[in-house]
Structure 1
Amino acid sequence: MSTRWQRIARAQAGDDYAARYAERFRALAGRGGDVHGEAAFVADLLPPPARVLDAGCGTGRVAVRLAELGYDVVGVDVDASMLEVARAEAPQLDWRLGDLATFDLGATFDVVLVAGNTIPLLEPGTLLDACERLGAHLTPGGVVVCGYGLDAAHLPGDCPPTDLAEVDAAFGVLGLDAVMRYGTWGGDAFDPVDGYAITLYAEPRR
């Protein structure tokens, strides 16, 4: 049974969507585009060699860059074909196949990064479970960094938007507050009209 992401990706790019996805970012980088905003954002939060979980890592673009910067990084994704591309790109890195609503790596991380519209692409009804699993992989004092599009213009295919309040509430059940919110990976101020949000979830300061 295919996931929401696989259904949308195949509709847009065919069965070789994983290779096409990776090639799109390689082409962008070749034209001088910045494809490392997420990794730079993490680097501004804390220095290497912090442990980072790239949750929903896809073809590994962000995880590979984080490793190049000196971070101890693990990538996990539900899509085996995306991970196959990631392993071919960086066989030395730790890539795991797992559903974010159920996965258990038996490890914790200083940063749990959830980028690339991973949240709205979750299967229907799994948001709370996924947030619980993401939070369970966080070290005490760590932070979940969650970035995704808020409207149709910033989401692939017919992926339905996920309300920020729903995600805030799901992490709130775990005792993780939305401590900071940005509008871009470059750290620009958040404006809901712009259609994108990056939120930091962490334990509230006592």
Structure 2
Amino acid sequence: MSGRTPSKWEQLTAADPAHSTFYVERFRALAADGTDIFGEARLVDAMLERGSRVLDAGCGPGRVGGYLHRVGHVVVGVDVDPVLIAAAEQDYPGPTWIVGDLAELDLPSRGITAGFEVIVCAGNVMTFVAPTTRQAVLAGFTRHLAPAGRVVIGFGADRGYEFPQFLSDAAAAGLTVDSRHSTWDLRPFTDESDFLVAVFSRGEGGPATRDPASSDDRYS
């Protein structure tokens, strides 16, 4: 990863090395108190047939991917923060958890087949990537998506990434908007909404990652 642009999350944790551990413990405490921390995962589960392949992009300590694994899906989670990945491995064993930069996403080079039925990017992740890499991140999602797959991304307003710019970047990365919502329980999105959950499919001619082990033509 030498010469790469650090994400905003990496800059945050470099300035405060305890931040990642605080983040992990925060969600462990919420779960212990009985707080519902799986709303995003339930939405994704409702979009899938049992046993589908899911990429949890910016998986953090694993709450979304962990839930989806538990209800029967095949999950790969990627996050740039090794502390969060270690927590995911401890708290939610079963999925494949990987330390990696979403701006350099290339899972086939790591022996993992592309072609995910859903790629989910929750927890304001898109506002924590380096601004100069946003389109690269979105293009990476497109490359890893199954032909009929969907990308689900959610983040809040006033975090330095305006919704119209995000939608423009997604279109440039080969993603087509299927629907927009203001919450993970699918409330309508309006111009006044302070949160966006966007569901995308891969547009015609969008970029694709070809798995060298694959013998079909899905990504040609």
Normalised by the size of structure 2, how large is the TM-score? 0.81
Q: Does 1:55 align with 2:57?
A: yes
List alignment gaps of at least 5 residues for structure 2.
109-113, 205-220
Find 1:127's aligned residue among 134, 137, 147.
Answer: 134
Q: 1:18–1:85: 8 Å Cα contact kept in structure 2? A: no
Q: CA deviation at 1:197?
A: 0.5
In the other structure, the counterpart of 1:195 is 194
Distance 1:21 1:83 in 2: 12
Normalised by the size of structure 1, how large is the TM-score? 0.86
Find 1:73's aligned residue among 50, 72, 75.
Answer: 75
Paired residues in the alignment total 195
What is the SS of the residue equivalent to 2:132? coil
Over 3 Å counting, the alpha-carbon distance change for 1:89 and 1:43 in structure 2 is same
User: 1:29-40, aligned counterparts within 5 Å?
Assistant: 29-40=31-42
User: 1:35-184, aligned counterparts within 5 Å?
Assistant: 35-106=37-108, 107-151=114-158, 160-184=159-183
What per-residue deviation string (whole Å, max 9, x for no partner) do you get for residues 156-198 of structure 1? xxxx421122222222124321110111111111134341110
Over 3 Å counting, the alpha-carbon distance change for 1:204 and 1:123 in structure 2 is closer
What is the SS of the residue equivalent to 2:198? strand
Q: CA deviation at 1:9?
A: 4.8
Q: CA deviation at 1:50?
A: 0.9
List alignment gaps of at least 5 residues for structure 1.
152-159
| Cα RMSD after superposing both structures | 2.0
Over 3 Å counting, the alpha-carbon distance change for 1:129 and 1:112 in structure 2 is same
Distance 1:33 1:25 in 2: 9
Q: CA deviation at 1:16?
A: 3.0
What per-residue deviation string (whole Å, max 9, x for no partner) do you get for residues 100-158 of structure 1? 1111001220001011111111112111111111110100011000000112xxxxxxx
Deviates more, 1:81-90 or 1:1-10: 1-10
Distance 1:191 1:9 in 2: 34
Q: 1:179–1:204: 8 Å Cα contact kept in structure 2? A: no
In the other structure, the counterpart of 1:156 is none
Q: 1:52–1:112: 8 Å Cα contact kept in structure 2? A: yes
Q: Percent identity over the alignment?
A: 35
